Amino acid sequence: MTDAGRATPKKRPLRRRVALLTVALLGAGLIAVEAYAISPSVRIAVADVWEGVGASGRLVGMLSDSDERVRAVASSALVRLGPAAIPACARGVEHPDPRVRKFALFTLGQLGPPAKIALASILNRATNDPEPDVRKAAIQALPNVVDENSAATTTLAGILASGDTDGRLAAVKALGHPKLQSADGVAALSRALKDPAAQVRRDAAESLAAFGPTAAVAVPALVDALRDPEADVRVEAAETLGSLSAFAKSAVPGLIAALKDPHPKVRSEAAEALEQITRDWGDGEPTLRQLALDALAQINREPAP
């Protein structure tokens, strides 16, 4: 057959050909280099070779490296390998080394919905792993992996009820993700407005803003949060109430009271929330609207701080 009639073999990318040649020449020696090389830069070069040949299992093993740069390079390489790396990462979630579990979970989160085959392991690590950093990594991975999964919402709600502070912080942020928004999530975040940690309370109020009208049932809890001892929480509660617009009309008396808050940022957010809530009322709610307008007029007359 002439060259014209012969199928042209598809060439591998140069990087992959070099990696394959390196493995062919060094064989088991490359594994020894990975294990005993003192310089992190050498181990990073080995990770590059493993990526070139698609050796996801070797890369997962490198997630236990003593140098964070090497672990980060290995994790990035696994992400670039895409769905082919998911089985190895799923095994990494069960690894005895917590560094491997943490980076394997992070990588699964980066790989997105195809990684949902590992969801059961991720949920288990989110609640049962003995290492706080691993639990946090599992929680952070959930929104990227799941697809409107009620089990994930239930798990996160449980973490809010009994987890450590870092875990609760990660959970309130995860519950605000579009894939995990649900009535159960609103209820869990409403309860989190009473969390002992101020940052959790603040982030819970912020996450509720992402729900839009669905968060209307949280208005009473947000109004209570306007009296939180921490100004940052009060600011976020007022801002979230404003984002709910007319769905938060029952918050008007609480927001009017917040106009007398000792913190200027709280007063400012309360005034803005009142403006947002009453903007489209017309004459439908004359009493509440007049209360809001009077309060706004009063704050506008106050001298600037």
With tokens 């984002």, the residue in question is: 243
Torsion of CA 291, 294, 295, 301, to 10 degrees: 180
- What pLDDT was estimated at residue 124? 94
For 182-227, write each residue's pLDDT tens digit: 999 999 999 999 999 999 999 999 999 999 999 999 999 999 999 9
CA 236 vs CA 19, 111, 267, 293: distances in Å: 52, 32, 12, 22
For 216-254, write each residue's pLDDT tens digit: 999 999 999 999 999 999 999 999 999 998 899 999 999
Q: How far apart are CA 148 and CA 10, in angstroms?
A: 41
Q: How far apart are CA 60 and CA 38, in angstroms?
A: 19
Q: Judge whether 152 and 142 are in contact, CB under 8 Å.
A: yes
Nearest to 218, CA basis, from 230, 209, 229: 209
Q: How far apart are CA 167 and CA 139, in angstroms?
A: 7
With tokens 């790989």, the residue in question is: 111
Q: Mark the ranges of the chain whose per-residue pLDDT is less than 50.
A: 1-12, 14-30, 32-36
Domains defined along the chain, listed by start: 14-141 (1.25.10.10), 191-305 (1.25.10.10)
The amino acid at 266: V
Nearest to 73, CA basis, from 96, 102, 97, 40: 40
- What pLDDT was estimated at residue 150? 76
Q: Judge whether 186 and 218 are in contact, CB under 8 Å.
A: yes
The amino acid at 188: A
Nearest to 186, CA basis, from 149, 224, 147, 213: 213
- What pLDDT was estimated at residue 18? 40
- What pLDDT was estimated at residue 266? 95
> Does the predicted model carry a pTM greater than 0.85?
no
Q: How far apart are CA 293 and CA 162, in angstroms?
A: 43
